[in-house]
Chain A
Amino acid sequence: MKPSVADPEHHIDPTDFAQAEINKSLSPETKIRLLRDMIRIRRFEETAGKHYNAGKMGGFLHRYDGQESIAVGCASLMGAHDHMITAYRNHGHALSVGMSMEECMAELFGRATGCSKGKGGSMHFFAPDKNYWGGHGIVGGQSPLGAGLAYYVKYKGLKGSCMCFMGDGAVNQGAYHESLNLAGLFDLPVIYVIENNGYSMGTSQARSSVYKNCLAYRADGYDIVWDLINGWDLYEVRAKMQIAVKRAHEESRPTVVEINTYRHYGHSVADSKAKVYRAEDEIERFKQHHDPIQLWRNRLMEEGVITEAVYQELDKAAKAEAVASVDFAEASAYPEFEDITKDVYFEVDEFTEAGRTGRHFFND
């Protein structure tokens, strides 16, 4: 078992990831921006949760609280040709790549001003202009798509990658295994990021998967380099992910990383046994000692980058932004009835020649 970081060529001291080149070069402003981005996710999710419970939204709401360092850390490494795709727990990724709280909140409220015009809902946010490809509701369904986005990057000879996120439960979908084989066989610059929060709904990792060492180690069987990351340390996320990004850019080779993390709340807001399958003290322990936001905040205080006042300021701003996004959503209109059958076919929407031959829709 040889995780990629152990390779001396990367010059990484596993006892201090702050010293990795990619982190040493961070300006204080950028460090503060990373903190701000994590806080924004936390406040967005809290605000969404509150309004979900008040009956303002339908469907599911899968909150990202506790996992913020992963989306923010990974997004901070993205360049012009790096892409991102994930599953249904996708609000953090969406905000990390620069989607606005307004368009995201409006989507949750089912409004026409939402990022998917109210058509996708909580699980299905997209922003292709920001290299963000969703937001996918079917567990593991995004894994071949991630390979495909990387295929484009390689096909066009670009220096880029696709970061494809998934949960610890998704690694047992066949599509994921087929994707790994394809990625290895075709030298695709894809990075599979397993956000391991220990549970898939009410099922612990031990009850859902058999594995040697760790879930990422399964990649070894496909001759794909892998790594294991402490998700609550933003420096570590960035340092190790950067190695994978570099591998994608320079060698066009895939990587599988497993990032340990924890979700603070239930699988979705409606999780009848959220406090049954996870012991209360386990939840408390992670909130107290492994909260990526608190750890990053402490780190930046130690480094003298921020003061408590700066942190409070960021937090206040994030809260205000979240509240404003609700106002925006509530002031927005719902889609029109006619919108239900729009965005189904390109050719019909664009009224092209192909869209005008034959019948496309079959209601009266």
Chain B
Amino acid sequence: MPVITYREAIRHALDEELARDENVVIMGEEVAQYDGAYKVTQGLWKKWGDKRVVDTPISEAGFIGMGIGASMLGVRPVMELMFWSFAYVAWDQMINNAATIRYMSGGKINCPIVIRGPANGGTNVGATHSHTPENFIANTPGLKVVCPATPYDAKGLMKAAIRDNDPVYVMENTVLYGETGEVPDEEYVIPIGVADVKREGSDISLIAHGRAVITCLKAAEILAEEHGIDCEVVDLRSIRPLDEETIIESVRKTNRALCVEENKPFCGVGAQIASLIQDRCFDDLDGPVGRISAVDAPAIYSPPLEKLQLPYPEQVVQKVLAMV
């Protein structure tokens, strides 16, 4: 199977969907002539031209809102936010308009838009550029949010997002763009709302999304090799819709759960999962559900400190050792 980067996997998804559906339009700052700030859209403008791949001014509220409006008539815009942090400029469009138009019209209007881009800390770009709003989005009925951790998932989820008739917000990660993984040549789509057990185990369930999945897999290796602890790693992939059954099944097997995320703790994704587990697996648990999140403060710039602000494998190892 070909091994490609996370970045290429997303690009292939965009390219294939541009070919499949003439209504798909890629839009965002520097996505066309510059090939994308992070080179996700590299070559697409050259291949598809001005009509399908569109550079926008720095007007997030304007162009995201325009995309939402166009989607109401059937354009399928795939909007790039250079950083998800810039979504806050367009928040009204994304939360008020995209999420509620179907509801308020009594189901008469759909909004098949994709908004995608990197949402992560860890690159020392400071507090204004390091936001991870997946919990905010998941808090908003009407919106879907997915956070792929691997090239395979990134491609399959992106294709599903573009075909979905509801707004799907895809959160990528600049740290993962260069990571590689196996991605088949054959067409595939990963349904949104299906978690993936990235590693099977029997002692504890590590439940994560995005880059935290990679952190958990590294921790699981250390725990297996050095401590003989067998972790199961559940990759949520999609935050909303949430695959509750996979989580429950895993916890019923391992009887322990640790939620790991790069988001902040308060009302983070882990809080929702912990609530689910206590509700559905109370009698299966051998101990309280654990959580690891980013250190609860705006993202610090200082490189060695920011490294410690986000979950890292050794931290997961220590937490697991304290739990089992």
Interface residues of A (CB under 8 A from B): 57-60, 107, 110-111, 116, 118-124, 136-141, 169-170, 172-175, 200-203, 207-209, 272-273, 277, 334-335, 337, 339-341, 344, 361-363
B307's nearest neighbour on chain A, judged by CB, is A58
Neighbouring A residues of B293 by C-beta, 8 Å: 362-363
Interface residues of B (CB under 8 A from A): 29-30, 33-35, 37, 39, 55, 57-62, 85-86, 88-89, 123-129, 264-266, 293, 295-298, 300-306, 308-309
Q: A204: shortest Cβ distance to chain B, in Å?
A: 10
> How far is it, in angstroms, between the C-alpha of A173 and the C-alpha of B62 when the chains are bound?
8
Neighbouring A residues of B29 by C-beta, 8 Å: 201, 203
Neighbouring B residues of A110 by C-beta, 8 Å: 124, 301-305
Known: A334-B304, A361-B296. A173 touches B89 (CB 8 A): yes
> How far is it, in angstroms, between the C-alpha of A122 and the C-alpha of B124 when the chains are bound?
10
Q: A265: shortest Cβ distance to chain B, in Å?
A: 16
Neighbouring A residues of B301 by C-beta, 8 Å: 58-59, 107, 110, 116, 118-122, 124
> How far is it, in angstroms, between the C-alpha of A354 and the C-alpha of B188 when the chains are bound?
55
A175: contacting residue among B86, B89, B295, B298, CB under 8 A: B89
A272 touching B39 by the CB < 8 A rule?
yes
A sample of 28 inter-chain contacts (CB < 8 A) reads A59-B126, A110-B124, A110-B304, A110-B305, A118-B300, A118-B301, A118-B302, A118-B305, A119-B298, A122-B301, A123-B126, A124-B126, A138-B86, A138-B88, A139-B58, A139-B86, A173-B60, A200-B58, A203-B57, A277-B33, A337-B305, A340-B295, A340-B308, A341-B297, A361-B296, A361-B297, A362-B293, A363-B295
Q: B306: shortest Cβ distance to chain A, in Å?
A: 7
14 new A-B contacts, CB < 8 A, other than A58-B301, A124-B128, A203-B34, are: A58-B124, A58-B303, A58-B306, A119-B301, A124-B126, A138-B128, A139-B86, A172-B57, A174-B62, A207-B33, A277-B33, A340-B305, A341-B297, A362-B264
Residue from B33, B58, B61, B127 with most neighbouring chain A CB atoms (10 Å): B58
> How far is it, in angstroms, between the C-alpha of A139 and the C-alpha of B126 when the chains are bound?
14
A59: contacting residue among B35, B60, B124, B265, CB under 8 A: B124
Neighbouring A residues of B86 by C-beta, 8 Å: 138-139
Residue from B88, B123, B128, B266 with most neighbouring chain A CB atoms (10 Å): B128
> How far is it, in angstroms, between the C-alpha of A172 and the C-alpha of B89 when the chains are bound?
12
A137 touching B305 by the CB < 8 A rule?
no
Q: B46: shortest Cβ distance to chain A, in Å?
A: 13
B30: contacting residue among A111, A121, A202, CB under 8 A: A202
Neighbouring A residues of B123 by C-beta, 8 Å: 58-59
B59 touching A119 by the CB < 8 A rule?
no
Neighbouring B residues of A337 by C-beta, 8 Å: 305, 308
Main secondary structure of the interface of B (DSSP, over half): loop
Known: A110-B304, A362-B265. A341 touches B295 (CB 8 A): yes
Neighbouring A residues of B128 by C-beta, 8 Å: 123-124, 136-138, 141
Neighbouring A residues of B89 by C-beta, 8 Å: 138, 140-141, 173-175
B296 touching A363 by the CB < 8 A rule?
yes
> How far is it, in angstroms, between the C-alpha of A116 and the C-alpha of B124 when the chains are bound?
14
Interface pairs A-B: 4 shortest CB-CB? A58-B124, A121-B301, A110-B302, A137-B128
Q: B1: shortest Cβ distance to chain A, in Å?
A: 29
Neighbouring B residues of A340 by C-beta, 8 Å: 295, 297, 300, 305, 308-309
Residue from A107, A110, A122, A340 with most neighbouring chain B CB atoms (10 Å): A340
A341 touching B296 by the CB < 8 A rule?
yes
> How far is it, in angstroms, between the C-alpha of A186 and the C-alpha of B129 when the chains are bound?
32
> How far is it, in angstroms, between the C-alpha of A339 and the C-alpha of B129 when the chains are bound?
20
Neighbouring B residues of A200 by C-beta, 8 Å: 57-58
Neighbouring B residues of A141 by C-beta, 8 Å: 89, 128
> How far is it, in angstroms, between the C-alpha of A337 and the C-alpha of B305 when the chains are bound?
7
A273: contacting residue among B34, B59, B125, CB under 8 A: B34
Neighbouring B residues of A140 by C-beta, 8 Å: 58, 89
Neighbouring A residues of B297 by C-beta, 8 Å: 340-341, 344, 361
Q: B5: shortest Cβ distance to chain A, in Å?
A: 16
Q: A31: shortest Cβ distance to chain B, in Å?
A: 36
Neighbouring A residues of B264 by C-beta, 8 Å: 362
A201's nearest neighbour on chain B, judged by CB, is B30
A174: contacting residue among B34, B61, B298, B305, CB under 8 A: B61
Neighbouring B residues of A341 by C-beta, 8 Å: 295-297
Residue from B127, B300, B306 with most neighbouring chain A CB atoms (10 Å): B300
Neighbouring A residues of B298 by C-beta, 8 Å: 119, 344
> How far is it, in angstroms, between the C-alpha of A1 and the C-alpha of B125 when the chains are bound?
41
Q: A313: shortest Cβ distance to chain B, in Å?
A: 35
B268's nearest neighbour on chain A, judged by CB, is A362
> How far is it, in angstroms, between the C-alpha of A123 and the C-alpha of B126 when the chains are bound?
8
B125 touching A121 by the CB < 8 A rule?
yes
B303's nearest neighbour on chain A, judged by CB, is A58
Q: A114: shortest Cβ distance to chain B, in Å?
A: 8
B34 touching A277 by the CB < 8 A rule?
yes
> How far is it, in angstroms, between the C-alpha of A202 and the C-alpha of B41 when the chains are bound?
15
